[in-house]
Structure 1
C-alpha cells in the first residue's frame, strides 16, 4: 500500500486526490455544488449532495489513476465549516447551516447577554459570532425547529458527516471542535459548563479526537459507491485551513500562509495559548498546538459570484477554448492599472469576519464611473480581497508584534498569477507559491499517512513541498496601493451604521 487519498469538502465544491508517499499527485476528481439561500442572510447546503459528489469525485480520481484500490493505505477528509444535524442513523434532518449564514443573530445576543463574551472567550479562545460557530446555530434550531432539535442524535461538521458515510462512526476532530464555542481549546474537551449554560445536551455532541487518529474503516456500502476497497483505514480528519497549512509545509510557529478559497484565510501557527478576539483561534497539531486564522468571507466566492452573475460570455468562450473562465478574467484584468482606476470593492457579500466581525456588512463597489469596464470590476474584486487580507496582516504585525517576511499561498485563487501578484503588491510581502496549490487534499493525505504510521511527525511534510515561484512587491506600486488601502478602511467606517439600517429594512 503506497498511496494516500485526501478529500476536501469545500463550500462550493469537493475534490479527491491520490498522492504517493513522496507527496506526488497521481490523480484528482472534482465536483461542484451550490449554496442554497432560501432567505437573505441564510446559507445552506445539502449534506447528502456532498456525499454523492464526493463519491463521484473519488470514483473519478481512482478511475484516472488506473490503479487497484488496495494500494490506498489510508483516507483523510478536510472540510469547510458548517453544522449538520443528524438522527441515530446519520440521516440529515435539515440542510447544513454554513459558516457564512447569519440567521442566528438573536441567539448570538442571548449568549452574550446570558453567559458573556469574556467567559466564552476564556474557555474557547474565540468570540461569539453568527455562522462561524456552531453553538448559536444549535440554539437557533432549538428555538425555531424544536422537533429537529429533539430528534437530533448528533450535531456534526461536514468532515464528521463524510467520515460517518465512509465508516458508520460519529466523530469530530479537535480543529473543528474549536469552532463550536462549546470546546475547551486548551484542555481539548467539551466544556461541561458552557454546554450546561446553553442547555445543549452533551450526548448530542460526538466524541472528539486528534485529526490523525483512525476512527474506522471504509464500510461495504461506501466502498460500492466510491470504488474504494472495503476496510481502508479512515482518519478523523481536520478543518480545511489546517489541511492546507500542512499541505504547504506551514507547520511551524509564526509560519504565515494564505489560502484563497471560497473564504480567504490568512493564518499563522502559535506556540502559546494567547489569543486575539479579532481572529479565529483553533487547535492545530501536536508540534504547533494552536493556529490563529483571519478569515475573509468574500474571498473566492466574490469572483465566483461575479462569474455566475456577469460572466456568461467568458464561461461560454472558455468552454469552447478548453480553458477556465477565470483564465479569461485574468487576461482581461491584467490590462487594468493598479487601483482599477479608482474602483474599490468591499468584499462583504457574505458579511465579514476578521477583523471587523460584522454580520450586517454587504458588498460594495465604490467609485464607479462611465470609464469602468467589466475588467475593472474583476481586478477590483481581486484587490478588495487583498485589502481585506492586509487589514488582518496589519494587526498581526503592528499590534501583535509578529513580523512577517514572506507568505506561502494556496487554494484555488493561487491558480491566478495575477491575483498572487496583486497580493504581493498590496501586502508588501514576498508571496511563495508551492508547486501544488490545492494543498487541502495534500494535507489531508499526509494526515492519513500519519494516522496509519507512514509518517511520524508533521514536520516530515516539508520535504514534499516544492516551491514553484515567488512574487515580490514593487515599491512604487505598493505605495499607490497603500493610499487605496487607507480609503478602503475609511469606507467601512462610514458605512457601518448604514449596513445596520439596511438590515432593519430587509
Structure 2
C-alpha cells in the first residue's frame, strides 16, 4: 500500500494550498493560488466563492506535475472556519461569502445571546455566539437581504461548497466538529440554536464524521484526482491538529497563519469562557481558539510602512527583547479567542522619540505572541493540563526569530514540524483514513509528522513575563475608549462599493 498518493487541501484566507503526499507523510509536491479579500467597508470582509474553485483547479494542475502520471487515491479538504457561503438550489453562490474577519453581525450576536440566555440557559452556558458564527450571520441575511435568504437552499463552509462541486452532490455534506457553533455535545444540530433563526434548520447540510467518504471526484478535467475518494473534511483547527501530530492527551499546537490558532488535546473538559471545547472525538477533547490577527498583523504593518515582510523581520532581529518597553496590541479587526470582542482595536503603547521602525517591527511580533499566550493560558484551564511543548506550523513558523519570541513569551518549547503546511497534511491524513489506506488516523499522524527544530525558552522569558502583565492590563484600561470609538464608527454611514 506504500505506492498510493493522497492530496490534502487547505482553503485559507488569502490562498488555497495543496499538498501531494505518500502514506508516510512525505511531501511530494506543494502549490498554492491566492485570491483577494473583498472589503466593501472597513468592518466587512468577503470572498468570491468562484475564486476558490479556480484556485483549486490551478493547484491540482500544479500538483499533477509531481505525480509522475499517477492518480491520487483520495482527497481531503480543511478550510477557514466561520466563513459562510449562501447557495441556491443548483449550489451556486447567491452573494459573496462572508469571511471570518467580518464584524457586521456584532449587534445581532448580542441580541441573539440575550435571547438564548432567556430561552435556553443550558445551551447559552456552553459558549457565546460570536459575530462570525453561523447563527448571527444567517439572521443578518434574513433581515438585511431577505430576497437572498428566501432563495438560499444551503448555508455552507468553504470546504463544503468545494466538495459539493467536486463530487457533484445533490445534497451537500459537512462535518460535526467543523459545525461546532451549530451542534450539541453529541455532534448533532442543536435545536435551541436553530430556533433562533427562522428557516435555518432546513438550510443546513447533512453532518458526517470528518473522515467519512462522501463521494468521488467527478470532474474529468482534473486528472490527478478524477475518481479519488473525497471525505467530508473539516475546519482548519482539526486539520492542523492531525497535521501537527497532536493526537495524545496533553499535546498542543500553534498554527502561525493569517490568525493564530492554538489547541490543546485532553481527555478532560473544564468549561472556560472564551475557549471552544469540542465534544470528544476518539476519546479526546480539542480545546482551541483562533485569534483575529497573527500573520495578518505582520502583513498589515509591512504594508503600512511600505516594506517587504522579509525586511520587517530583519529589522526586528536588530532589537532586543521587549522592543525598549513598547507594546503592540494586535486587535486590528477586534479579537476572537479568548476575548471575543468585536469593538477592541489595535495600537502601539509606550512609544517614544527614540523608537524606530525596527522597534515597532519587533513589537508587532511580540504583540502577536502576547495574544497567543493569553489564549494558551485559557486553553490550559479548559484542558486541565499543562502541555510540555507546542507543535508549530504555518507560514509564520518559518521565522526563527518569531519562534524564539513565542518560546520566550509562552515559556514553552516551540517544536517546529517539518511540513509547515500542516493543514494540507492533516486533510490528506483524513482522506487516507476515510479511503481505508491507513489502519488508523492517530497512528498515521504519529508516523507522518516529524519535528524539524525545537526552540527552547531563553533568559528573556522573565522580562517578557513583566511585559505580558502590562499587555493584559492594557485591555481593561483601554476598553472604555474602544467602546466609545466603536460607537462613533457605527454612526458613520456605510457606503457599499458597486
| Same fold (TM > 0.5) | yes
| 1:18-417 to 2 correspondences below 5 Å | 18-63=20-65, 65-70=66-71, 72-81=72-81, 82-116=83-117, 119=120, 122=123, 125-131=126-132, 133-169=133-169, 170-179=172-181, 182-184=182-184, 186-220=185-219, 223-224=220-221, 226-283=222-279, 285-288=281-284, 290-312=285-307, 314=308, 325-326=309-310, 328-397=311-380, 401-417=384-400
- For residue 294 of structure 1, give the secondary structure of its aligned residue in structure 2: strand
* Distance in 1 separating the partners of 2:427 and 2:487: 42
- For residue 51 of structure 2, give the secondary structure of its aligned residue in structure 1: helix
Does the CA-based 8 Å contact 2:88-2:154 persist in structure 1?
A: yes
* Distance in 1 separating the partners of 2:135 and 2:110: 12
Provide Cα deviations, 1:79-100, integer angstroms capped at 9, x if missing partner: 0020110001111111111112
**Structure 1's 414 and 53: CA in aligned 2 closer, same or farther, altered over 3 A?**
same
* Distance in 2 separating the partners of 1:342 and 1:242: 36
Pairwise CA distance, 1:27: 0.4
* Distance in 1 separating the partners of 2:39 and 2:469: 33
Provide Cα deviations, 1:25-57, integer angstroms capped at 9, x if missing partner: 000111122221211211111111111112111
How many residue pairs get matched?
483
- For residue 330 of structure 1, give the secondary structure of its aligned residue in structure 2: helix
Does the CA-based 8 Å contact 1:275-1:292 persist in structure 2?
A: no
**Structure 1's 496 and 118: CA in aligned 2 closer, same or farther, altered over 3 A?**
farther
Of the structure 1 ranges 114-123 and 207-216, higher mean CA displacement relative to structure 2 is found in: 114-123
**Structure 1's 210 and 491: CA in aligned 2 closer, same or farther, altered over 3 A?**
same
**Structure 1's 118 and 219: CA in aligned 2 closer, same or farther, altered over 3 A?**
same
* Distance in 2 separating the partners of 1:2 and 1:213: 19
Does the CA-based 8 Å contact 1:117-1:128 persist in structure 2?
A: no
Pairwise CA distance, 1:401: 4.3
Query: TM-score scaled by structure 2?
Result: 0.93
Query: TM-score scaled by structure 1?
Result: 0.91
* Distance in 2 separating the partners of 1:276 and 1:266: 15
- For residue 333 of structure 2, give the secondary structure of its aligned residue in structure 1: coil
- For residue 6 of structure 2, give the secondary structure of its aligned residue in structure 1: strand
- After superposing on structure 2, the runs of 4+ consecutive aligned residues of structure 1 that deviate more than 6 Å are none
Query: Which one of 449, 452, 459 corresponds to residue 468 of structure 1?
Result: 452
Does the CA-based 8 Å contact 2:392-2:414 persist in structure 1?
A: yes
* Distance in 2 separating the partners of 1:299 and 1:108: 24
- For residue 453 of structure 2, give the secondary structure of its aligned residue in structure 1: strand
Does the CA-based 8 Å contact 2:4-2:23 persist in structure 1?
A: yes
Provide Cα deviations, 1:446-488, integer angstroms capped at 9, x if missing partner: 11000000123222111121111111112x3111111111111
* Distance in 2 separating the partners of 1:206 and 1:393: 32
Give the gaps of 5 or more residues in structure 1.
315-324
**Structure 1's 207 and 123: CA in aligned 2 closer, same or farther, altered over 3 A?**
farther
Pairwise CA distance, 1:217: 0.9
* Distance in 1 separating the partners of 2:262 and 2:17: 22
Does the CA-based 8 Å contact 1:123-1:183 persist in structure 2?
A: no
